[in-house]
Chains A and B, each alone.
Chain A
Amino acid sequence: MSFQLELPHNVVFIAGGILGWLIVLILVSRHYLKRQEKPSFWKVILVVLVGMFSFTINLNLMHVSTKLSILPLGVWILVGLLSKASWQTYRAFAWIGFWANFIFLFTTLMSGFMDNWVYPKEDASTYISDLENAYIVAIHPSGLQAVLNKERFQDQLRDVEAVDIMDMGLEWYQESSMESEPYYQKEHFPYALLGALPRWGSGRDSTMYIQDDGKGLLITTANQSYYYRSKEPLIDMGVRHDE
């Protein structure tokens, strides 16, 4: 299926989608204007839309999830439904509908590249942009009472260093689960940064955690974790309310 009801939350992909539809509209209009005998334009639009219907496979091309159309199901349906004469009239439009899938494939790939350029996936500031309602909360009993100093955090965020998480996740996991380890039943990341918003239009959903020494920031998205280290603690820990 080629239709997606759910709108993307990312402005780059929305722009790419609009561009794709514009290209299709231009192609259809140009072909329509070239015609001597003109069928009704609404019927043409309908034929193009049905022509888009196709059997697809999901492909992950360079980290962009796309759909590759293989079988022109919509075109076949039209062959079956239309009389011979009207098939001759609409044939070209039905095929424009099918090839439109490849125009969308192209615009999606383009958007994928553009997206990473506009909203870099490796930048902490992509995920943490608006701190107005941000706060820190201990999510594990090994965390202390902690407070967020928003201005200081924002400053330090510019200087954090990205660290390759390679194999560290497994270590963190094992150290907390094995009784022989000093981290047994403790959590390396006992704080969450909540209320922070990603950059406008990026749609980059994530959950952000702070390390027990206050100097590590872990940003976990749907399929990847990014890890950053700061020279100074990002939050104030060990503050008690009753003092």
Chain B
Amino acid sequence: MMNKKLVMIPILLVIIALIGYLFFYGKPTSFPNNAQAIKAMNELYAEANVGIISDVIPLDSRHVFVPFISGDNLYGMSFWVWDRFQWKLGRIDTRGEPYIWKINERDASTHYIVWNMDPKDELRELKYYLIGERDFHSSASLETYIPRIQIEKTISLQKKNYGVLPFPKEWAELVNRNLRLSKANQPPSLFQMNTPSSTMYVGWIPYGELGKVVFPENTVNGSSFDSDGINLDFVRILNEVELEIPK
């Protein structure tokens, strides 16, 4: 009996210390100041040549989006994650075309669209679209019809050429329902590790002066450096003819 107690006490102490450690040190400290952040970025990826930080936008308490302007006047983006002890720089892009940052792949309410448009492209507004293709299939006694989804979200660039758009509530629920239904269609297997795939996607159209569609050449060209698993999804530029326009 005595022996057992003697073993239990240190184990308990270790557990308490661990919980305490995670509680106090697991909490994010304040984000590095601009000079520190610039230094960290240029150390990780010298090519970025970060000059000015445009803004520091927290998505939640552990994920921060930092759009910047480089010394060569390129408009870029950086992605930061709180990693137990410190703010870690996960990725740098020297371009600012839209990406979806998926904090938790399986839950679209944690998905954010981020962008930093190059003013040289002279864009006035962006339109983001949540698209789900119309679908129909039938077999023996079963028949399925899925309506087309096409929801538009307009972003003005008058004030800021960068930004973060958390998935609107209805986008998140439509995508999550879609994920659950396509998962139910996969045969059950022992290994449920494969990432769920949704048949829905997000696209965008850039608009310039007088509502004309422009190709944002400067915004889409650049390089990127990925150091630590930032889960990004590409946002495709749509052609207006791909959209349905009811008369």
Contact = CB atoms under 8 A, between A and B. Distances in A.
Contacts, number: 116
B134 A173 contact: yes
Contacts of B143: 165-169, 224-225
A3 B189 CA distance: 9
Contact of A139 (B135, B151, B185): B151
B24 interface: no
Interface in B163-182: 169-170, 173-174, 177-178, 180-182
A139 to B, nearest CB: 5
B150 A205 contact: no
Interface in A159-198: 165-170, 172-173, 176-177, 184-190, 192, 194-195
B144 A224 contact: yes
Interface in A130-145: 137-142
Contacts of A166: 143
Interface in A193-236: 194-195, 205-207, 209, 218, 220-225
A4 interface: yes
B246 A218 contact: no
Interface in B126-145: 132, 134-136, 138, 142-145
A8 to B, nearest CB: 10
Contact of A205 (B136, B145, B184): B184
B8 to A, nearest CB: 24
Interface string A1-40: 1011110000000000000000000000000000000000
A83 interface: no
A137 B245 CA distance: 18
A58 interface: yes
B211 interface: no
A185 B177 contact: no
Contacts of A187: 134, 147-148, 244, 246
B229 interface: no
Contacts of A190: 147
A58 B189 CA distance: 11
Contact of B147 (A165, A189, A222, A224): A189
Contacts of A170: 136, 138
B244 A220 contact: no
Interface residues on B, range: 35 or more
Contacts of B107: none
B188 A4 contact: yes
Contacts of B246: 140-142, 185-187
Interface SS of chain B? mixed
Contact of B247 (A185, A220, A223): A185
A1 B190 CA distance: 8
Given A139-B151, A141-B245, A207-B178, A225 B145 contact: yes
Nearest to A208: B177
Contact of A173 (B145, B181, B245): B145
Contact of A223 (B135, B178, B185, B188): B185
B190 A4 contact: yes
A186 B244 CA distance: 7
A78 B145 CA distance: 49
A135 to B, nearest CB: 8
B200 to A, nearest CB: 11
B106 to A, nearest CB: 13
A220 B152 CA distance: 23
B150 A139 contact: yes
A24 to B, nearest CB: 20
Most chain A Cβ neighbours within 10 Å, of B134, B151, B189, B246: B246
B144 A6 contact: no
Contacts of A177: 134
Contact of B177 (A138, A169, A207, A224): A207
20 contacts: A137-B151, A138-B151, A139-B149, A139-B151, A140-B149, A140-B150, A141-B244, A141-B245, A170-B136, A176-B244, A186-B244, A188-B147, A194-B169, A205-B177, A207-B174, A218-B147, A220-B181, A221-B181, A223-B184, A224-B143
Interface of B: 132, 134-136, 138, 142-152, 169-170, 173-174, 177-178, 180-182, 184-185, 187-190, 192, 244-247
Interface of A: 1, 3-6, 58, 65, 137-142, 165-170, 172-173, 176-177, 184-190, 192, 194-195, 205-207, 209, 218, 220-225
The 3 nearest A-B residue pairs measured at CB: A169-B145, A222-B184, A173-B136
